[in-house]
Amino acid sequence: MTLSNKKIMVVDDDPVILRYLVNIFNHNGYPTCEAENGVEAMRVIEEEKPDLITLDIQMPEEYGPRFFRRITKDERFAQIPVIVISGVTGRHLAIGRAVASLSKPFDPEQLIGIVKNTIG
């Protein structure tokens, strides 16, 4: 598997889902970085400068929509595409500018298809 030069940041508070997503992306040649909540994700995004983010909605400390608002207000990160992957539904939790929203459980092939269409 050839490695992509496009890095994906996985943000999810569930360690099982976090590992699962990292393994899917690594298996498909994408390097990854990770965070367990929005506060940690802000530190990681500044250090790693990912090309795409997968984002859970409901997390401790800082939930997904708030993290998304923070990065879209920062010109360094505003153009990074975000894929929402969450077990929580509801219009009040929606991130309208996400490139895609997947519900847990999700189809890994569908996720990789979205990633390839978004960042190559």
pTM to 2 decimal places: 0.92
Neighbours of 91 (CB within 10 A): 6
Distance in angstroms (rounded) separating the CA atoms of residues 51 and 119: 7
Sorting pLDDT into bands at 50, 70 and 90, what band is 111? very high
Across all residues in the chain, what is the average pLDDT? 90
* Residues β-bridged to residue 33: 9
**pLDDT (tens digit per residue) in 42-88:** 999 999 999 999 999 888 777 788 899 999 999 999 999 999 998 77
Q: What is the pLDDT of residue 59?
A: 80
CATH for the 8-119 domain, from 3.40.50.1100, 3.40.50.2300, 2.40.50.140, 3.40.50.300: 3.40.50.2300
The token pair at 109 is: 């092939």
Distance in angstroms (rounded) separating the CA atoms of residues 40 and 38: 5
Distance in angstroms (rounded) separating the CA atoms of residues 10 and 92: 22
Residue 11 reports pLDDT greater than 70: yes
Say which residue the tokens 């923070």 belong to.
Answer: 70
Picking from 65, 67, 97, 70, the residue whose alpha carbon sits closest to that of residue 81 is 97
